[in-house]
Amino acid sequence: MQERQGESMEEPREDLHWPAAMEHQVDLYMQYLAVEKRVSDHTLDHYFSDIEQFVNFMLREELREFERVSYLDVRTFMGRLSRTHEKKSIARKLSALRSLYEFLRREGWVEKNPAKEVRSPKLEKKLPTFLYQDAVDRLLNTPDTSTPLGLRDRALLEVLYASGVRVSELVALDIPDLDLSQGMALVFGKGAKERLVLLGSQALKALQNYLAHGRPSLWQVAGGVAGHALFLNKNGTRLSDRSVRRILDKYVLLCADMQHISPHTLRHTFATHLLDNGADLRAIQELLGHSSLSSTQIYTHTAREHLERVYTQAHPRA
């Protein structure tokens, strides 16, 4: 069984012994997520933690096979979570169970998916946070480009904003995925789906500077073990998604008036700025790699708020 830390609901984990069959099924599911679905390590940790929590609940209820679980058992589990967890966390755990059971059903280990019969808690829709253009400019100009790490940081921030890619997509980029002459990159998104993203002139310039003057120094530190990986850490190996978050946190602290900014904020900013400047919603959907337009439509609310704010500030009779 994979060595990951899960959350405990009631009793200590050490008294619970997983049946070998269940342990094997969970391990195969985690391999499926990692290899076929290509989810990030960060997401894998969350999925395993959620599933581990449910399996421990099963064992306390003397349910030692996934097939024996009913929708009432899943409801009981969700009900207990509601005492200590927020709705968003409960919804995520239910989603993890639905995905696990769908895998078990396809493999023939269970006949039905009991988690599908349980209604997910209703969540309040939050508008995505985004930065205004002057804030983006200050953030992107913060790295010290006289050093290899500064060149790397400038390039990765420029790419995040210019392309709207997810962090997992950014750190997975290899040099052959870039087409600098066309200003494009090939990324591998959720569900192992490929898509082309566009790189603006500033991102291209930052990438060229990094590739010429930054990456070679970092690449040599570990003797080239990183191969074709685009973004490298100080040890000369591929940068991780958590490292990108730490890098962004570092520069946000240097911009005193910024707070609660994540790499995903730059993705939201990318989409919002495109929409504000007249981009078609369908085109934004393609660039973001959203499977449905409904995921992209939240940005129309953000754009409307921006327009209302501009009108209020600028119109003499607003």
Question: Would residue 166 show up in a list of annotated catalytic residues for this protein?
Answer: yes
Question: Would residue 267 show up in a list of annotated catalytic residues for this protein?
Answer: yes
Question: Would residue 290 show up in a list of annotated catalytic residues for this protein?
Answer: yes
Q: Give Cα 247 to chain centroid, integer Å.
A: 16
CB atoms within 10 A of CB 163: 25
Closest to 30 measured CA to CA, from 13, 18, 43 = 43
Catalytic residue of the set 98, 166, 268, 273: 166
Helices H, strands E: what count in the chain?
A: 14, 3
Please answer whether residues 224 and 215 qualify as being in contact, where contact means their C-beta atoms are separated by less than 8 angstroms.
no
Catalytic residue of the set 190, 195, 205, 245: 190
Catalytic residue of the set 93, 154, 267, 273: 267
Closest to 157 measured CA to CA, from 81, 209, 115, 122 = 209
85: helix, strand or coil: coil
Please answer whether residues 210 and 175 qualify as being in contact, where contact means their C-beta atoms are separated by less than 8 angstroms.
no
Please answer whether residues 239 and 215 qualify as being in contact, where contact means their C-beta atoms are separated by less than 8 angstroms.
no
Question: Would residue 190 show up in a list of annotated catalytic residues for this protein?
Answer: yes
Report how far residue 210's alpha carbon sits from residue 222's, in angstroms, rounded to the nearest whole number.
18
| Amino acid sitting at position 163 | S
Closest to 200 measured CA to CA, from 241, 252, 238, 155 = 155
Catalytic residue of the set 29, 161, 210, 299: 299
Closest to 300 measured CA to CA, from 275, 273, 318, 267 = 275
Q: Which uninterrupted H or E stretch holds 185?
A: strand 184-188
36-63 CB burial, b ≥16 within 10 A, e <16 = eebbbeebbebbbbbbbbbbbbbbeeeb
Residues contacting 298, CB < 8 A, separation 6+: 125, 127, 128
- Rg (Cα) of the chain, in Å, rounded? 23
Burial of 6 (0-12, 13-18, 19+ CB in 10 A): middle
Could you give the residue numbers annotated as active site?
Answer: 166, 190, 264, 267, 290, 299
